[in-house]
């Protein structure tokens, strides 16, 4: 039989969680046509020797923020080089569609999205999910893309004026209409970021309306819930209860507890998830494999200041009396997560601030000591300059609790990768290497077959991708060839991921991109 490619004499981990086996895989065009013992029954245009290596399905990133990066750099080398061939965009309620060009709404969406998604262009040549994905297809996409409908652009498009408030009944109907359109066009679910403006201002009525519609279409509800700090258990209970009441499938984003004093709550959080599963709620979660995270510096501000647009905010950041009020609210938050209080300024560092490259990697505590001032004033001074993009890293978790979450069977792999600044969290470029190197090779936290399942077939089933995530005949040829002995977590060391295939095309080989852009937009089907 003539085929495009064979990968011979290789150890196969098929993604199902079953044990590995020795054999070969044959690929014709974009699909797998044979998986089994080594045989001479194929004539291939190219034969790849897999001796000493492990073949797995291509990895699925359940939580990415590549919405605009896909357009800035269609090759997506940071993901492909990790073996990630499919990613979910539109997470944390932040996305790029729908776009309403009236009354400065496009400008407002771009402003609110910039810290997480970065900039793309003054004019976005799309208006909804369908035209956004058509734009992706014209440009080419290095990864396969599953798109969620994010909450922020829904609120901006449906609401009049500043969206940082409770929506009216009529505005909620407008959001429902736009969400239904996205589902008809193939969006895989709805995401909200209840920690971030403007989603944090959504009423229970608004959330119930959007989730009932999501359940009607059997799409996924992905949520960055309201509090991951002192109130993490009740915050988690809030979204699980919303899922129970509406019947929606829920994916809790980047499950964790923030702050040293809150690590004690992780067992209670996992038990709460198990309780809701026992009640019949369909619950999963994603997790990135690092104890420190990354997000917008602006998100450190109290919610009442997040209501303001940048033009209103900047004078307040410069006013001494407003600074003192903000400081008091950040030190003693009421009903919201203050990262400054939870983590401390010594564990919060600058990753990127527009126009201030010399600050990269510096903690606020060290900057304050150097300048003979207070970390709060360093922070306020930094934002008072009005940077469009300001991104931080923050140490949020303990190793022990990260590992406890990772060991839970309902967890999936996600990177939570940002590409908004010139410097990004390591999860944006080497999360899979870190996961394999630290949590399998070093700590042996679970069998390799189970770790691969959480990165492949399990998320594929959650996303209703019925021809991906498993090395099986008839499935798409999304494939990774691993050399685990050579794989390290050292930055710049590309060994260990020997080859990556997307839809039957070799896109990464021996430490470099091949120049082929082979990703597809994977739309959800109705009915």
Write down the pLDDT at residue 421: 74
317/324 Cα distance (integer angstroms): 10
- CATH architecture under which domain 2-57+467-513 falls: Roll (2.30)
Write down the pLDDT at residue 106: 92
Question: 60-291+396-462: which CATH topology?
Answer: TIM Barrel (3.20.20)
Per mean pLDDT, which range of 333-347, 401-415, 499-513 is the poorest? Answer: 333-347
Mean pLDDT computed over 311-339: 93
266/257 Cα distance (integer angstroms): 6
CB atoms near residue 525 (< 10 Å): 7
**Residue 80 pLDDT level (bands cut at 50, 70, 90):** very high
CB atoms near residue 304 (< 10 Å): 12
Mean pLDDT computed over 292-321: 91
CB atoms near residue 492 (< 10 Å): 6
Indicate whether 72 pLDDT > 70.
yes
295/116 Cα distance (integer angstroms): 7
Residues in the chain: 527
Indicate whether 245 pLDDT > 80.
yes
C-alpha to C-alpha distances, 357 to 23, 303, 352, 412, 422, nearest whole angstrom = 51, 28, 7, 34, 9
Mean pLDDT computed over 491-510: 94
Q: Which of 105, 300, 349, 327 is closest to 196 using CA atoms?
A: 300
Phi-psi region of 290 (alpha: psi -120 to 50; beta: other; left: phi over 0): beta
Mean pLDDT computed over 66-76: 96
Indicate whether 494 pLDDT > 90.
no
Rounded-to-10 torsion of CA 49, 54, 55, 61: -140
Q: How many CA atoms lie within 13 A of 515 on its CB side?
A: 0
455/520 Cα distance (integer angstroms): 19
Domain range annotation of the chain: 2-57+467-513, 60-291+396-462, 302-392
Residues 375-410 have pLDDT tens digits of 999 999 999 998 888 999 999 999 999 999 999 999
Indicate whether 490 pLDDT > 90.
no
Q: What are phi and psi of 214, to 5 degrees?
A: -65, -40
Strand pairing class (220-224; 189-193): parallel
C-alpha to C-alpha distances, 197 to 242, 335, 406, nearest whole angstrom = 20, 15, 29
250/223 Cα distance (integer angstroms): 8
Strand pairing class (144-147; 84-89): parallel
Indicate whether 526 pLDDT > 90.
no
Strand partners, 224: 193
**Residue 124 pLDDT level (bands cut at 50, 70, 90):** very high
Q: Which of 386, 385, 300 is closest to 349 using CA atoms?
A: 300
Residues 100-110 have pLDDT tens digits of 988 789 999 99
Residues 168-191 have pLDDT tens digits of 999 999 999 999 999 999 999 999
Sheet order of strands, 348-353 included? 292-296, 390-395, 348-353
114/420 Cα distance (integer angstroms): 7
**Residue 144 pLDDT level (bands cut at 50, 70, 90):** very high
**Residue 492 pLDDT level (bands cut at 50, 70, 90):** confident
Share of the chain above pLDDT 90, in %: 87
Phi-psi region of 140 (alpha: psi -120 to 50; beta: other; left: phi over 0): left
Give alpha helix (H) positions in 281-406.
Answer: 303-306, 310-318, 320-331, 339-343, 364-371, 375-384, 399-406
Tell me if 133 sits within 8 A of 90, measured CB to CB. no
Indicate whether 424 pLDDT > 80.
no
Give alpha helix (H) positions in 14-75.
Answer: 69-72
133/149 Cα distance (integer angstroms): 12
Write down the pLDDT at residue 502: 98
Tell me if 378 sits within 8 A of 367, measured CB to CB. yes
Looking at per-residue confidence, does 307 or 79 come out higher? 79
263/266 Cα distance (integer angstroms): 6
Q: How many CA atoms lie within 13 A of 41 on its CB side?
A: 10
Strand partners, 222: 191, 251
Write down the pLDDT at residue 422: 72
Tell me if 133 sits within 8 A of 145, measured CB to CB. yes
Indicate whether 423 pLDDT > 80.
no
Q: Kindly state the greatest CA–CA separation across the chain.
A: 79
Indicate whether 527 pLDDT > 70.
no
Cis bond before residue 98 (omega within 30° of 0): yes
Tell me if 360 sits within 8 A of 350, measured CB to CB. yes
Indicate whether 205 pLDDT > 80.
yes
Write down the pLDDT at residue 233: 98
């Amino acid at each position: 039989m003539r085929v495009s490619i064979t990968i011979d004499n290789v150890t196969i981990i098929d993604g199902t969680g079953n044990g590995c086996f020795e054999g070969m895989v044959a690929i014709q065009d974009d699909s797998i046509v044979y998986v089994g013992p080594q045989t001479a029954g194929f004539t291939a245009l190219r034969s790849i020797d897999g001796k000493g290596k492990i073949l797995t399905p291509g990895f699925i990133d359940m939580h990415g923020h590549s919405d605009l990066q896909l357009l800035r750099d269609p090759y997506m080398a940071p993901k492909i080089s990790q073996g990630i061939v499919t990613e979910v965009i539109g997470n944390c309620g932040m996305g790029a569609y729908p776009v309403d060009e009236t009354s400065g709404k496009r400008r407002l969406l771009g402003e609110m999205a910039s810290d997480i998604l970065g900039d793309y262009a003054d004019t976005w040549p799309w208006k909804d999910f369908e035209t956004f994905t058509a734009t992706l297809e014209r440009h080419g996409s290095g990864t396969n893309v599953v798109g969620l409908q994010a909450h922020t652009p829904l609120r901006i498009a449906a609401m009049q004026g500043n969206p940082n408030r409770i929506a009216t009944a009529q505005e909620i109907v407008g959001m429902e209409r736009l969400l239904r359109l996205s589902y008809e066009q193939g969006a895989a679910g709805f995401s909200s970021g209840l920690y971030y403006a403007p989603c944090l201002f959504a009423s229970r009525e608004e959330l119930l309306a959007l989730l009932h519609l999501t359940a009607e279409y059997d799409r996924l509800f992905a949520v960055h819930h309201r509090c991951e700090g002192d109130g993490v258990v009740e915050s988690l209970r809030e979204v699980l209860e919303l899922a129970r009441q509406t019947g929606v499938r829920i994916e809790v984003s980047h499950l964790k507890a923030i702050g040293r004093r809150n690590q004690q709550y992780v067992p209670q959080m996992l038990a709460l998830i198990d309780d809701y599963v026992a009640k019949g709620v369909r619950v999963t979660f994603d997790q990135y494999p690092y104890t420190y995270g990354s997000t917008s510096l602006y998100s450190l501000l109290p919610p009442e200041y997040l209501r303001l647009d940048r033009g209103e905010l900047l004078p307040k950041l410069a006013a001494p009396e407003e600074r003192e009020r903000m400081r008091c609210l950040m030190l003693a938050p009421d009903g919201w997560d203050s990262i400054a209080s939870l983590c401390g300024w010594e564990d919060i560092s600058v990753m990127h601030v527009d126009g201030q490259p010399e600050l990269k990697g510096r903690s606020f505590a060290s900057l304050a000591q150097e300048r003979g001032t207070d970390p709060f004033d360093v922070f306020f001074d930094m934002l008072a300059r009005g940077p469009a993009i300001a991104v931080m890293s923050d140490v949020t978790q303990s190793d022990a609790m990260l590992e406890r979450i990772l060991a839970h069977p309902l967890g999936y792999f996600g990177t939570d990768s940002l590409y908004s600044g010139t410097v990004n969290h390591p999860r944006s470029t080497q999360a899979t290497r870190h996961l394999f190197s630290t949590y399998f090779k070093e700590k042996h936290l679970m069998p390799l077959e189970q770790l691969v399942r959480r990165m492949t077939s399990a998320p594929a089933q959650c996303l209703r991708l019925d021809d991906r995530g498993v090395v099986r005949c008839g499935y798409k040829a999304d494939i990774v060839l691993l050399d685990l002995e050579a794989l390290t977590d050292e930055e710049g060391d590309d060994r260990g991921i020997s080859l990556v295939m997307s839809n039957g095309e070799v896109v990464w080989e021996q430490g470099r991109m091949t120049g082929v852009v082979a990703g597809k937009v994977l739309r959800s089907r109705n009915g």
